[in-house]
Structure 1
Amino acid sequence: MASFQKRGKTWQYCVSAKPKPIRKGGFKTKKEAQVAAAEVEERLRKYNNPRTTKILFDEYFESWIDVYKNDIGDITLNSYRTTLQTIKVNFPGRYLHEINKREYQQFLNDFGSDHAKQTVRKINTHIRACIQEAIEEGIIHIDFTRKARLTGKIESKRPEEKHLNYSESHILLNELYNRKERSIGYYLLILALTSGMRYAELVGLTQKDFNFELNEITINKTWDYKTGKGFMSTKNDPSNRVIKIDIETMKLFKEFFNEITPNSYDLIFVSPTNPNKVLTNEFVNKILKKTLKDLKIEPVTIHGLRHTHASILLYKKISIYYVSERLGHASIDTTLRYYAHVVKELREEDTKNTLDLFQKMLLLESATSEKFVQNKMK
């Protein structure tokens, strides 16, 4: 049974579902919300019926998005919608139970012939998560995505691997801090590197989000910097968080607030000339690229600074649980997946340290025993 609520000038529906209710707003009238809610309820009835076996792949994937991805941001949601279109093009009229591993692998091979491996990986990740749910619901019994081999036309680094190392980030941070004339874009770069925030979170910050007494920043919204729709929700519930920031950075921003152009949204990284109100991703990337080039460091994007932040924390043996919370990941599994390359290196180091530890303990035990025997003989 759906319920409806008016929020400001628009309507929102809430449909009871497991594991959590499905909510969606932005409807101009209550009637529009009722029609949309009825469609969701119909999908739930169809896919929760254990006797239903003939379910179209694209229809199930669309339903899965509505049920399990209803609380993600628009940018991420569009990524899932792109995968849905790919499924519609490549599996038209195909039922879930009819698809086998060979057919799915052929799809990945064909798709990868003219797409980057990174894109193939993302498509497979989306589909695999959906198929796992279909198996748990008893709709199908075989995971046709299991052990799928990922192919791709371009062997480029994964985005999370494009980050600065500790030495490079140290050089960059000092360069950004020591600039005598620092434009607003440099302030954003400093905060990106010291906080690990997503770009939409950074440009969605207001002065009220800064607590200078506790050196904390509250992250509870984003700004739609691509279309200029305004404030949006964060990527997921764990993305709503409060993070600690170092004292020097907070001091810097306390002074910077005196220079900010007043605006009706109380935004920090405002751009009066941009119709979307805030600094564009392209503008900031241009500043970052030039700065790194001057420092003779291989360029990364602004998103690469988020990965740099996380990688540095992990290299410095900061708990992966804390890193996951600080980044606002949905779960620690996300952190492990994104930073598997870092975790692998740390695991190798931990293995060596573990072996060294017990080797030293055994040598110490041997030396102690020998000394004990010598004392007894005396």
Structure 2
Amino acid sequence: MASLIKRGSTWQYTVNNYVDGKRKPVVKGGFKTKKEAQLAAAEIETQLKKGQQVVIKEIPFSRYFEEWIELYKSNRYKTTYKRYINSLDRVKEYFKDIPIQKITRTDYQKFINEYGKGKSKETVRKLNTHVRSCVKDAIEDGFIFIDFTRKVELNASKTAKKPSEKHLDYLESVRLYKELFKRLDNTTSTYHLILLGLVSGARFGELVGLTKDSFNFKNNTINIKKAWDYKDGSGFAPLKNEQSERTISIDRKVMTEFKKLILSLPENPYELVFFRPTSTKVVTNEGANKLLRKLLESLNIDTISMHGLRHTHASVLLYKGSNIHSVSKRLGHSDIQTTLDHYAHVLKEMEQRDEIIAMNLYAK
């Protein structure tokens, strides 16, 4: 049974604990009420009864988070790792050297509220996902016993883009597809890049990482085995996940144009299809987005980014009746849940359409 004592205006608990026959009590103070101290002590006693490790020494949350990222996330896809580092920077700025053991749900909610100013809910959600994963491991490791991220409200002041604003609908994608063929020119490959993004759904790093031997003109496929670090221009980079290595079927008309392009390409040391003699070595994401924006504006279509072409490809496939498992595989998602989360709005539209089909199944 834990003993409780009031020290000044706060409460402290002491839980009896023995290690190798020697008494090593777990002592912690700073609780505002006796009830808080009792609950915390009960958590410690439960952990000790289960034989789990109890870490008494306090550690700054920012330091634990940093060590956790380096241990579990440093081998992730470069862009993903950078997102974790960005989350770490936000934690360092706000919590500074506050021990993870002293952070309460109230403290964390205030942090989320502050971070959410001027940001979309999706941005806040990503940060919370990173911190929540870390906190769960901190509980497993015995550093803390209460999940201070539990039931947090993801408040944000900026309205996120609606799913419909991130991709083109089917008819818009058809118009873009036709217009691209009118503009293809072997003296520049950026229109080819946009076209391939539309018909493949590949990530930008995967597209600019394609080499001449990535194209199989006999089977009308492209083979995605690596990506290109288009931000730093440091060379080939690993794919985002194991499932990202894949072969994608491409329509014959597009492949015919790429055969012409590749035959006209000058030599380059990397055999890249979208090579540029610049610091990045490839067509830049900014340059491709700028050209895509101008193209869509000329068609009087609301603009999207190159990544929006990936969303367009997946959304159109699903809406046209493709199996979600095959779409997930084509996109190189790590699991089907990722696909379900990203394209729930399209699946909802399909559900409504299917209800109409069901209602009229036997109608004359």
Q: TM-score band (shorter)?
A: 0.7 to 0.9
> Does the CA contact (< 8 Å) of 1:80 and 1:126 recur in 2?
yes
Match for residue 242 of structure 1?
247
Q: CA deviation at 1:67?
A: 3.4
- Distance in 1 (alpha carbons) for counterparts of 2:116 and 2:184: 48
- Distance in 1 (alpha carbons) for counterparts of 2:111 and 2:305: 31
Q: CA deviation at 1:187?
A: 0.2
Match for residue 271 of structure 1?
276
Match for residue 155 of structure 1?
159
Q: CA deviation at 1:229?
A: 0.7
Match for residue 258 of structure 1?
263
Are positions 1:327 and 2:331 aligned together?
yes
For 2:328, the aligned partner's letter is: S
Unaligned 5+ segments in structure 1 are: 1-48, 365-378
- Distance in 2 (alpha carbons) for counterparts of 1:76 and 1:258: 35
Q: CA deviation at 1:168?
A: 0.5
- Deviation sequence 1:293-339 (CA, Å, 0-9, x none): 11000011111101111111121232222222211122222222222
Q: CA deviation at 1:227?
A: 1.5
- Distance in 2 (alpha carbons) for counterparts of 1:341 and 1:240: 27
DSSP 3-state at the match of 2:247: strand
For 1:222, the aligned partner's letter is: A
- Distance in 2 (alpha carbons) for counterparts of 1:191 and 1:106: 44
Question: What RMSD, in angstroms, separates the aligned Cα atoms of the two structures?
Answer: 2.6
Are positions 1:168 and 2:196 aligned together?
no
Q: CA deviation at 1:144?
A: 2.8
**Cα 1:200/1:103, change in 2 over 3 Å:** same
DSSP 3-state at the match of 2:223: strand
Match for residue 51 of structure 1?
54
For 2:152, the aligned partner's letter is: A
For 1:69, the aligned partner's letter is: K
**Cα 1:352/1:177, change in 2 over 3 Å:** same
Match for residue 229 of structure 2?
224
Q: CA deviation at 1:351?
A: 5.2
Percent identical residues? 45
Match for residue 217 of structure 2?
212
> Does the CA contact (< 8 Å) of 2:136 and 2:147 recur in 1?
yes
For 1:229, the aligned partner's letter is: S
For 1:328, the aligned partner's letter is: G
- Distance in 2 (alpha carbons) for counterparts of 1:318 and 1:218: 21
**Cα 1:137/1:180, change in 2 over 3 Å:** closer
> Does the CA contact (< 8 Å) of 2:117 and 2:158 recur in 1?
no
**Cα 1:337/1:135, change in 2 over 3 Å:** farther
Counterpart of 2:287 (choices 263, 280, 283) is: 283
Counterpart of 1:306 (choices 306, 310, 315) is: 310
Unaligned 5+ segments in structure 2 are: 1-51
**Cα 1:71/1:195, change in 2 over 3 Å:** farther
Match for residue 14 of structure 2?
none
Match for residue 70 of structure 1?
74
**How many residue pairs are counted as aligned between the two chains?**
311
Counterpart of 2:125 (choices 116, 121, 125) is: 121
Q: CA deviation at 1:203?
A: 0.7
Counterpart of 2:147 (choices 122, 143, 158) is: 143
- Distance in 2 (alpha carbons) for counterparts of 1:301 and 1:127: 28
Are positions 1:195 and 2:196 aligned together?
no
> Does the CA contact (< 8 Å) of 2:183 and 2:191 recur in 1?
no
Q: Write the mapping of 1:340-359 to structure 2, written as runs, cut at 5 A.
A: 340-350=344-354, 356=359
Q: CA deviation at 1:77?
A: 1.3
Q: CA deviation at 1:146?
A: 3.2
- Distance in 1 (alpha carbons) for counterparts of 2:271 and 2:110: 51
**Cα 1:51/1:220, change in 2 over 3 Å:** same
DSSP 3-state at the match of 1:127: helix
Match for residue 46 of structure 1?
none
- Distance in 1 (alpha carbons) for counterparts of 2:274 and 2:250: 18
Match for residue 87 of structure 1?
91
- Distance in 1 (alpha carbons) for counterparts of 2:74 and 2:251: 34
- Distance in 1 (alpha carbons) for counterparts of 2:148 and 2:326: 35
DSSP 3-state at the match of 2:199: helix
For 2:229, the aligned partner's letter is: D
Q: CA deviation at 1:180?
A: 6.0
Bigger Rg over Cα: 2
> Does the CA contact (< 8 Å) of 1:160 and 1:304 recur in 2?
no
> Does the CA contact (< 8 Å) of 1:198 and 1:303 recur in 2?
yes
Query: Scaled by the length of structure 2, what TM-score is found?
Result: 0.77
